[in-house]
Amino acid sequence: MAGKDRILILGPTGAIGRHIVWASVKAGNPTFVLVRNTPGSNNRVNLVKAANPETKEELIESFKNSGVNLIQGDMNDHESLVNAIKQVDVVICAFGRLLIEDQLKIIAAIKEAGNVKRFFPSEFGLDVDRHDSVDPVREVFEEKARIRRIIEAEGIPYTYLCCHAFTGYFLRNLAQIDITVPPRDKVFILGDGNVKGAFVTEADVGTLTIEAANDPNALNKTVHIRLPKNYLTINEIISLWENKIGKTLEKTYVSEEKVFKDIKEASFPNNYLLALYHSQQIKGDAVYEIDTAKDLEAFEAYPNVEYTTVDEYLNQFV
């Protein structure tokens, strides 16, 4: 029996990259990460810091102890990037929003290396080919869509991974601004609160990404993570939370016009978060039909994966 594909994760210490690394190790894939000898940033968004408290240095030490292959290199050093890619079969990029354009360097290196079976560009959000978002999110989605078109034009085998709403960004604070735990008194709800959204823990994104990486049926397709028990409206989620704490929250419903105004007046990260919340909670960008010729629903493709439900996730805050 042939061994499992060797997987390289770029951006391995980020909010999602770390979970892909751990999932790859757990699945038994030979796992590689590209690391630089630079200190980690202390300027992480509070929500990200709360959901992923480990520092870069702690993660790298954990990777070493888990048998991950650390490759010293730099995205801006083409030769070292090509060298890293030549050692693996699958490349998964987990860059943040500010580094989306840097994937052009990865594409060039993959083309030169000539050995990659699959490339996962940095997506890990809403489907950038199916959205009605506003800036500053729209600009990032357009950059990601452009990367898709370049990958396809270059003939690079790919899988796009759309996981929608990380629990660390959307659920641990019930989509409220400037808090990192669910509110216990009052809550602001964008729109009428009745639009379905798709929620998933970062760890489960890692698991399902590696499932897709090991699945030949995911080649040149988009994998959509919309897990049945986590495909809920914000009103349904708030009701779950109220039942857990035995209290009814004071609810304020925010019109789309007010949301637009708040986005324009806010600075980063709040403007970005509000635009993401608007995309899912008002525009319904997680609600669509898939094309089975080019799409896979993760829960149907990987039915044996046990995932953390929204109900289970909220228990940690009671």
**Which residue numbers are catalytic?**
144
Return the amino acid letter for 153. A
- Whose tokens are 């028990």? That residue is 229
- Paired residues of 259 in beta bridges: none
CB 200 within 8 A of CB 163: yes
Beta-carbon contacts of residue 226 (< 8 Å; ≥ 6 apart): 164, 198, 286, 297, 298, 299
CB 19 within 8 A of CB 59: no
**Whole-angstrom distance, CA of residue 232 vs CA of residue 229:** 7
**Whole-angstrom distance, CA of residue 299 vs CA of residue 276:** 23
CB 282 within 8 A of CB 190: yes
